[in-house]
């Protein structure tokens, strides 16, 4: 900020609601007055030309107007020079978009005291064939006593006019957008700035003798004749605003290019209303102006030499000078007083505390105020719709799929137009309409929108939140987005069924209050269980999903949830904890009610979800790599075939057409594999998200976390699993957990390190699983997730000693003294003992073997034997060990037909087998494309199910059915068993035969 301001010598307001820009201002002795003083010429985009003769003594700006004339065309630029061949006096040139006019300004002496009158006389004009941008003038070619004009058009064309006659037009090579243009008389060349941020110089003689071109397209790619070449080019790396040619007395001639505020020009006006004066490259003076000028000039007037003429965009014209006025104010003498250092220290401490509090609460993104332009109110109906509005379902349900109506109300603080309302539902949920356009939103009339939410796909939802966003244009013209979130009831995705006695996964939670009846906790999810004892309920996900059984003990204040799939327990567990808190905390007498989890964390099962998700991630990359190879091969074969066909001498194709067809079929097969793998990856991501939500909830109940710690936990072990090729869930979670282990959860100062590792795709999941296990171990030992909180008491876990995790990399995290395996096993309690489960050997690998499976409580430990019914949940989880690289590549390649066996496509020989299988029974369907076994999302982890590079297959026991599978003898995967009629457009076969290809 400058301490000085420019001093106003003369000023006026030019017109009303007129616009000006660079080129609309010129100062010269346009009337050829013998006094030699300059006049100010102004031309506006509204086509009005004005000539001023500034005189502060006149007292009114109206008397200073010499000429004011209106044109029908906008004025782009005005300049004064020797533009007439009949006279060497100064003439006025005015540039319009399609016309160049030259005028003579003459003075007519008036009678008595009326003064002189000035007139504009048109000398000549040129009609332009292209829209003009700017022009420059000078003695082109070294002519004496004359000024020629060069007009630059919007497409980069230079048109030269030798006063009254047209000379030539030339296209500059590579011109895209016009820029500033200046003529250098000493070198006889034009200097301009191109849109590629380069300063280019062209000799006038080179432009004059260049061959004529028929058009711009020919000039850019010229093949014969002379091409216009730049004399020199300099890359400035910025967009040039203006170019000026100056001559110093003791220095060579220089070209000054204005590229920004800190330029090396003699006088620069900035957008900060600062006027800076440079001598060579040193800033000598800086003054503040009253407005932002678009153009400045230096002129001599009667009574003021070297006055600064400035013009603003709105038409404020001012003649000012640089200097200071003497100050007449004398500050009073300040009485001296003793300094109170104690008061100063107290004030400093208070200010530092205030600054620290403000810094802690500061955010990068702007906060939304309560009185924002628009507010979203979402009301979710507590009851399901009487008539379901579910459409476009991807599965069938015997009793129908329910829907739920959501009412969305928009309230605006002011009138808004074209508000876009979008509803985002988590998979597998959907709504009947996901986006709306509200053309007019009035503050007095709120807008209401109704949508029906339902489950469209067969799968397990990770959460039950829908997000509503409203996008609109604010009053200031900026785009704003207001977001709201609403929770959906769990009964939208599950239905009551009979409970199941046996299950693979069992989780038990404890309370400090007598157990409540499940009929009282779930009155809306009783179904056929209504009227029972309230000790057992069963819930099943829509679409034939898994069954979750909830058991309540009558003696031990405990509740158990069991299911054959771990991730399916998440939503019933969350609903049970929420309803227990709501049931026991209604009155103040139970304000200390608490739900806890004292069992073993299901890390082994959770790690299987991580392995499955990572397997599909790597499978997708390998499929895309193989698809890129086949596509490159396909293009190469096409080029060779095209060369053969163009050859005048016929030559044999050498089976190139057969190879082309085989490659094409491989590309189709790989494209289908990529699509199916993407679907399976999305399902596995959803399952991993649900499992992460469940693990975070168990950790919170395990150590009784505070809300602040739980927020840090969800940010570290994030349940948000997004499909991204650049950064996946495994590496981001590993980096977050590693950061916590090396900072707030570090055991000693030597363990602390803040050097982050690069976020690259890991080769396997061993590292992230090891860090998650170590993180859970530190949490169980009382470590806090927020710095500054007191460590909790370590949870006592009695467990036989097992093998610990050994750190092999010295740069990784330090090893704890206690075994990590203690986290994965149950504590001993009174009245019950732990019941071990067999550890799965295959595919565990590395760290998973010593960790072991969680040891759950006995079924009869405090839980009565309530059920005598038998049954099993269809679709048990398959043990899917992460494949090795060679095995994965072999599986992917097995999906693609061999090029050597292309003749087998007609069902007569070898593509689908090697002679071991009856190939005569394999017939090709008549339809277009292939038929695959379409598994639902909840069939992702069925027991004894083959996963062949992301494809979903059914159970092995269903081989006898037409939709089942059969394992191949070589163990390479499972193939679909299909009907042999071929009416579905796929590859059919006789019943109970084996198909080894797509």
Tell me, yes or no, whether 62 and 111 share the same domain.
yes
Residues whose CB falls within 8 Å of the CB of residue 244, separated by 6 or more in sequence, listed in order = 182, 255, 256, 258, 265
Residue that finishes a domain, picked among 491, 517, 540: 491
Cα-flanking dihedrals φ and ψ of residue 636, to 5°? -65, -45
Backbone φ and ψ of 608, nearest 5°: -65, -35
**Percent of the chain residues topping a pLDDT of 90:** 26
- Decide if 561 contacts 698 (C-beta within 8 A): no
Domain-located, residue 364: no
CATH number at residue 406: 2.60.40.10
State whether 558 and 623 are in the same domain. no
Token output for 769: 């699983």
Q: Going by C-beta distance under 8 Å and a sequence separation of 6 or more, which residues neighbour residue 724? A: none
- Structure tokens belonging to residue 931: 């038929």
Q: Report yes or no on 932 lying in a domain.
A: no
Number of structural domains in the chain: 4
Give me the CATH number covering residue 192. Answer: 2.40.128.630
Residue 224: pLDDT above 80? no
Please compute the mean of the pLDDT values over residues 319-339 and round it to a whole number: 69
- Measured CA to CA, the distance from residue 770 to residue 775 in angstroms comes to 9
Q: 475 is written with which tokens?
A: 């009053």
Q: Residue 838 falls within a domain, yes or no?
A: no
Last residue of one domain, picked from the residues 447, 467, 491? 491
Say if residues 451 and 423 touch (Cβ distance below 8 Å).
Answer: yes
Distance of CA 347 to CAs 343, 352, 356, 359, 720, Å? 6, 9, 14, 18, 46
The least confident of 135-139, 387-391, 872-876 is: 872-876
The answer to whether 678 and 621 have CB atoms below 8 angstroms apart is no
Which residues make beta-bridge pairs with 102?
93, 124
Q: What is the pLDDT of residue 586?
A: 61
Which pLDDT belongs to residue 445? 87
Whether residues 502 and 572 fall in one domain: yes
Residue 353 lies in a domain: no
- Which tokens belong to 349? 């401490």
> Is residue 793 very low, low, confident or very high in pLDDT (cuts 50, 70, 90)?
low
| Torsion region of 739: left, alpha or beta (phi above 0 gives left; psi -120 to 50 gives alpha) | alpha
How far apart CA 751 and CA 917 sit, in angstroms, is 61
For residues 668 and 541, state if they share a domain: no
607, pLDDT greater than 90: yes
Q: What are the strands, taking DSSP E only, across 464-553?
A: 465-473, 479-487, 494-497, 505-511, 536-541, 547-552
966 pLDDT band, cuts 50/70/90, is very low
- Tell me the Ramachandran region of residue 929: left when phi exceeds 0, alpha when psi lies from -120 to 50, beta otherwise: left
Instruction: Look at strands 267-269 and 254-258 and give their pairing.
Output: unpaired
Mean pLDDT across 48-59: 84
Domain assignment present for residue 506? The answer is: yes
Q: Are 192 and 184 in contact, with CB atoms under 8 Å apart? A: no
What does 347-386 look like in DSSP terms, one character per residue? HHHHHHHHHHHHHHH--SSPPPPTT-SEEEEEEE-SS--S
pLDDT at residue 421, rounded to an integer: 93
Judgement on whether residues 761 and 694 belong to the same structural domain of the protein:
yes
Most confident of 280-289, 691-700, 911-920: 691-700
Kindly state whether residues 613 and 736 are assigned to the same domain. yes
Beta partners for residue 405, in sequence order:
452
| Highest mean pLDDT out of 94-108, 268-282, 876-890 | 94-108
Confidence class for position 526, pLDDT limits 50, 70, 90: confident
Task: Indicate whether 985 belongs to any domain.
Answer: no
CA dist., res. 497 & res. 808, Å (int): 50
* pLDDT, tens only, 150-177: 999 988 888 999 988 998 888 888 788 8
Question: Distance between CA atoms of 900 and 792, rounded to whole angstroms?
Answer: 68
156-170, 178-192, 206-220, 884-898: segment of lowest average pLDDT: 884-898
Span of 9-23, 36-50, 110-124, 691-705 with lowest mean pLDDT: 110-124
Find the mean pLDDT for residues 64-92.
Answer: 90
pTM of the model: 0.50
- Both 582 and 633 in a single domain? no
Write the pLDDT tens digit of every residue in 801-834.
Answer: 333 333 334 344 444 434 444 444 433 333 333 3
Q: Torsion angle of alpha carbons 427, 428, 430, 435, nearest 10°?
A: 20
Higher pLDDT among residues 113 and 401, named by residue: 401
On whether the CB atoms of residues 294 and 313 are closer than 8 A, the answer is yes
β-strand partners of 10: 319
Computed over every residue of the chain, the mean pLDDT equals: 74
Residue 569's pLDDT is: 93
Does the structure show a pLDDT above 70 at 602? yes
Same domain, 759 and 641: yes
Question: Domain for residue 658, yes or no?
Answer: yes
614 and 554 share one domain: no
Radius of gyration of the chain (CA): 42
Q: 403 and 450: one domain?
A: yes
**CATH number of the domain enclosing 566:** 3.30.310
| Domain boundary pick from 595, 612, 635 | 595
Give the pLDDT score at 453: 94
Domain-embedded: residue 203 = yes
Residue 628, domain extent:
603-781
- Of 28-37, 280-289, 561-570, 782-791, the least confident: 782-791
Query: Is the pLDDT score of 423 beyond 50?
Result: yes
More confident residue, 334 or 773: 773
At 487 the pLDDT is 92
End-to-end CA distance of the chain: 74
- In angstroms, the CA 766 to CA 541 distance is 32
Answer yes or no: do 142 and 21 share one domain: yes
Q: Are residues 550 and 612 in the same domain?
A: no
């Amino acid at each position: 900020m400058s301490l000085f301001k420019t001093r106003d010598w003369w000023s006026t307001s030019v017109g009303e609601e007129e616009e000006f820009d660079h080129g609309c201002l010129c100062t010269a002795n346009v009337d050829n007055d013998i006094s030699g003083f300059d006049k100010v010429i102004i031309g506006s985009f509204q086509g009005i030309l004005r000539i001023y003769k500034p005189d502060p003594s006149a007292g009114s700006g109206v008397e200073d107007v010499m000429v004011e004339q209106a044109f029908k065309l906008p004025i782009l630029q005005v300049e004064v020079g020797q533009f007439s061949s009949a006279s060497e006096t100064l003439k006025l040139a005015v540039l319009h978009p399609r016309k160049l006019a030259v005028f003579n300004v003459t003075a007519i002496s008036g009678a008595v005291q009326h003064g002189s009158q000035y007139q504009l006389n048109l000398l000549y004009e040129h009609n332009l064939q292209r829209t003009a941008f700017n022009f420059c003038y000078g003695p082109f070619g070294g002519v004496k006593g004359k000024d020629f004009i060069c007009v630059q058009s919007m497409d980069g064309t230079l048109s030269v006019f030798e006063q009254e006659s047209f000379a030539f037009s030339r296209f500059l090579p590579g011109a895209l957008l016009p820029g500033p243009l200046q003529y250098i008389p000493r070198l006889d060349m034009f200097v301009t700035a191109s849109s590629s941020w380069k300063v280019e110089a062209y000799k006038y003689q080179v432009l004059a003798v260049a061959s004529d071109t028929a058009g711009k397209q020919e000039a850019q790619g010229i093949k014969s004749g002379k091409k216009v070449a730049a004399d020199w080019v300099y890359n400035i790396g910025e967009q040039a605003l203006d170019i000026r040619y100056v001559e110093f007395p003791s220095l060579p001639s220089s070209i000054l290019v204005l590229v920004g505020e800190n330029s090396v020009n003699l006088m620069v006006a900035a957008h900060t209303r600062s006027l800076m004066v440079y001598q060579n490259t040193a800033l000598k003076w800086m003054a503040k102006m009253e407005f932002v000028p678009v153009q400045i000039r230096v002129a001599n007037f009667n009574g003021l030499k070297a006055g600064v003429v400035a013009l603003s965009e709105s038409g404020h014209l001012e003649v000012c000078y640089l200097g200071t006025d003497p100050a007449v104010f004398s500050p009073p003498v300040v009485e001296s007083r003793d300094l109170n250092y104690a008061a100063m220290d107290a004030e400093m401490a208070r200010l530092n505390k205030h600054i620290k509090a403000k810094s802690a609460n500061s955010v990068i993104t702007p906060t939304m105020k309560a009185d924002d332009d628009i507010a979203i109110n979402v009301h979710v109906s507590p009851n399901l719709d009487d008539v379901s509005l579910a459409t476009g379902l991807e599965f069938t349900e015997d009793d129908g799929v329910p829907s739920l109506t959501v009412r969305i109300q928009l309230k605006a603080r002011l009138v808004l137009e074209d508000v876009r309302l979008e509803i985002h539902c988590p998979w597998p949920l959907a709504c009947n309409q996901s986006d709306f356009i509200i053309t007019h939103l009035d503050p007095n009339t709120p807008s209401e929108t109704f949508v029906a939410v339902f489950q469209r796909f067969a799968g397990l939802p990770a959460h039950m939140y829908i997000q509503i966003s409203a996008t609109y244009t604010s009053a200031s013209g900026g785009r704003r987005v207001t977001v709201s979130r609403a929770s959906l009831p769990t009964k939208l995705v599950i239905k009551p069924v009979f409970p199941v006695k046996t299950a693979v996964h069992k989780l038990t939670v404890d309370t400090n209050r007598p157990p409540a009846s499940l009929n009282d906790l779930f009155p809306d999810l009783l179904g056929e269980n209504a009227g029972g004892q309230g000790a057992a309920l069963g819930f099943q996900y829509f679409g034939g999903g898994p069954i979750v059984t909830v058991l309540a003990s009558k003696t031990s204040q405990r509740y158990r949830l069991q299911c054959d799939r771990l991730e399916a327990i998440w939503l019933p567990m969350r609903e049970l904890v929420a309803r227990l808190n709501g049931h026991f905390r209604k009155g103040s007498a139970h304000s200390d009610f608490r739900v806890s989890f004292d069992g073993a964390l299901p890390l082994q099962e959770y790690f299987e979800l991580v392995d499955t998700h990572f397997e599909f991630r790597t499978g997708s990359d390998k499929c895309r790599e193989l698809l890129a190879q086949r596509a490159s091969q396909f293009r190469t074969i096409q080029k060779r075939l095209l060369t053969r066909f163009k050859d005048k001498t016929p030559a044999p194709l050498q089976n190139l057409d057969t190879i082309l067809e085989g490659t094409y079929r491989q590309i189709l097969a790989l494209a289908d594999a990529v699509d199916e793998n993407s679907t399976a990856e999305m399902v596995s991501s959803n399952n991993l998200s649900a499992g992460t939500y469940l693990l975070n909830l168990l950790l919170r109940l395990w150590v009784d976390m505070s809300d602040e710690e739980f927020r840090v936990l969800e940010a570290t072990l994030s349940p948000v699993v997004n499909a991204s090729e650049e950064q996946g869930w495994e590496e981001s979670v590993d980096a977050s957990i590693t950061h916590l282990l090396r900072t707030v959860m570090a055991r000693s100062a030597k363990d602390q390190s803040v050097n982050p590792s690069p976020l690259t795709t890991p080769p396997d999941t061993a590292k992230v699983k090891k860090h998650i296990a170590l993180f859970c171990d530190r949490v169980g030992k009382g470590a806090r997730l927020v710095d500054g909180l007191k460590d909790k008491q370590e949870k006592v876990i009695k467990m036989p000693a097992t093998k610990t995790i050994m750190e092999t990399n010295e740069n990784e995290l330090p090893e704890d003294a206690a075994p990590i395996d203690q986290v994965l096993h149950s504590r001993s309690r009174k009245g019950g003992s732990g019941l071990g489960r067999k550890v799965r050997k295959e595919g565990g690998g590395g760290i998973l073997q010593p960790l072991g499976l969680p040891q759950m409580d006995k079924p009869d430990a405090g839980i009565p034997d309530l059920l005598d019914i038998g049954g099993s949940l269809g679709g048990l989880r398959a043990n899917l060990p992460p494949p090795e690289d060679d095995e994965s590549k072999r599986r992917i390649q097995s999906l693609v037909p061999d090029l050597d066996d292309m003749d087998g496509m007609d069902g007569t020989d070898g593509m689908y087998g090697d002679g071991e299988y009856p190939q005569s029974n394999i017939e090709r369907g008549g339809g277009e494309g292939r038929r695959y076994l379409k598994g639902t999302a909840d069939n992702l982890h069925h027991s004894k199910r083959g996963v062949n590079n992301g494809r979903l297959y059914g159970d092995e026991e269903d081989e006898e059915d037409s939709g089942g599978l059969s394992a191949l003898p070589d163990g390479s995967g499972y193939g679909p068993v299909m009907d042999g009629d071929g009416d579905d457009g796929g590859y059919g076969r006789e019943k109970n035969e084996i198909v080894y290809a797509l």
